[in-house]
Amino acid sequence: MCRLFAITSNNPLSPMIAINALDVMKEGHDGSGVGLFLTDLGGDFEHFKGEPILSGIFSNEGIKSLDRYMIDLDFMVKYKMSFRPAKLPPAGTPKRDNYVIRVYEYPADWEGLSEEEIHFRLMTVQLQLRQMGEKDNSMLIFSFWPDVIMIKEVGDPLAVAAYLGLDRKELQARTILSQGRQNTNYAIDIYACHPFFIQGMATMTNGENTAFVPIREFLMSRNFPGYAGYQSDSEVFVHILHYMYKKLGLGIEMYKHIITPLKDDELDRHKEGQWLRGLKQSCRPLIIDGPNCVIGCLPDKTMFMVQDSKKLRPGVVGGRPGIFAFSSEMCGLDTAIPERDINLDFQPMKYETVLIRRERQEIEKWNQWDALPPRH
């Protein structure tokens, strides 16, 4: 099993708080990869909230290709942070030329475009850069989005963090998702490191999704270019979330009704069973199978956790007003927020969605048996 840790705080935090939480859970991951998603940024990036940030790894030739491509599109660099470690990488981590985080200024001809069009173009740039890099492994692209940084690498989380120097004061965020990977069904691939990201949404998963192939085929048939990649069976979780939000116009309370819907006899007893039955039938190809704990972040910075329909993977949430965390194990919470009241920790069960809103004041719980929210 992988290990997951996510934290959201009113005050910016170093990603090392997440890395250290993963380290105390290291019996649950094998060093095959680490991934970080940072948003609601602090540090040096506090001043660039509306500007798109590119996160990736580049060879020296890849940097040259990136510069040519972005200049052709009229993107100008406003700020950059690069990691070029001089020492040898830790065991299991490949030697790379450049780890890059760059803030860009939008092209002049994007002024006046709708938010939807800007979001589509940003995604298109990310996909095109990734495709360029796949030809010769000169670029690995993780995100291109405002107020988002992603860092991924193969190797042990703590060793990779020390190698890259992730404890620098310039790199901080109020919301951090992190995964220590336990490779299961696929060859070790940096693109298989969680979290996964699309248009402001991110998810990471501890588990296996044996319904991966039909879900992937359904999503790819939607003719949306962002539904691509799939080096991991878990990437579909963020794409389902995106499809639910952007294509169906539904909120996070409906996520479990899509991936783990109530059984038919349960729908017979639900007050809105008829509508939910229609949703279940229309989204049947998106029903997951297998043990999964999913932690995610929404564009409005709400953080959430859901479980599979049998609650076969561990997950706990705890904290206090101003700071909360989700963790695969209690020891992760103890490391990050030792001063919390542990009697208020909560472990969501099979019907529940747990939410921490951006205000970070309380643990909000949503149950599939609750009345449905208003629908647009």
Residue 99 and residue 23 share a domain: no
Which domain range does residue 136 map to? 50-146
Domain stops at, among 85, 111, 146: 146
Residue 55 and residue 43 share a domain: no
pLDDT given for residue 1 in this prediction: 64
Residue 70 and residue 38 share a domain: no
Mean pLDDT in residue range 18-46: 89
Q: Which amino acid is at 106?
A: Y
Residue 247 and residue 333 share a domain: yes
Contacts of 252 (CB under 8 A, 6+ apart): 298, 302, 304, 353, 355, 366
pLDDT digits (tens, 9 = 90+) for 295-306: 999 999 999 999
Residue 114 and residue 183 share a domain: no
CATH number at residue 312: 3.60.20.10
pLDDT given for residue 310 in this prediction: 84
pLDDT digits (tens, 9 = 90+) for 336-370: 999 999 999 999 999 999 999 999 999 999 999 99
Residue 125 and residue 77 share a domain: yes
- % pLDDT > 70, the chain: 97
Neighbours of 217 (CB within 10 A): 10
What's the CA gap between 313 and 1, in Å, rounded? 9
pLDDT digits (tens, 9 = 90+) for 185-214: 556 789 989 999 999 999 999 988 889 999
Q: Are 157 and 42 in contact (CB under 8 A)?
A: no
pLDDT given for residue 187 in this prediction: 63
Does residue 277 register a pLDDT over 90?
yes
Mean pLDDT in residue range 105-125: 98
pLDDT given for residue 312 in this prediction: 81
What's the CA gap between 62 and 82, in Å, rounded? 14
Residue 8 and residue 120 share a domain: no
Residue 226 and residue 98 share a domain: no
Does residue 318 register a pLDDT over 80?
yes
pLDDT given for residue 188 in this prediction: 72
Residue 329 and residue 283 share a domain: yes
Band of residue 251 on the pLDDT scale cut at 50, 70, 90: very high
Domain stops at, among 146, 175, 192: 146
* Domain-embedded: residue 280: yes
Q: Are 140 and 56 in contact (CB under 8 A)?
A: yes
Residue 307 and residue 204 share a domain: yes
pLDDT digits (tens, 9 = 90+) for 69-81: 999 999 999 999 9
- Count of the separate structural domains present in the chain: 2
Does residue 32 register a pLDDT over 80?
no
Mean pLDDT, the chain, integer: 94
Residue 83 and residue 64 share a domain: yes
* Domain-embedded: residue 123: yes
pLDDT given for residue 115 in this prediction: 97
Domain stops at, among 112, 146, 180: 146
Residue 331 and residue 246 share a domain: yes
112: alpha, beta or left? (left if phi > 0; alpha if psi -120 to 50): left
CATH number at residue 76: 3.30.70
Does residue 182 register a pLDDT over 70?
no
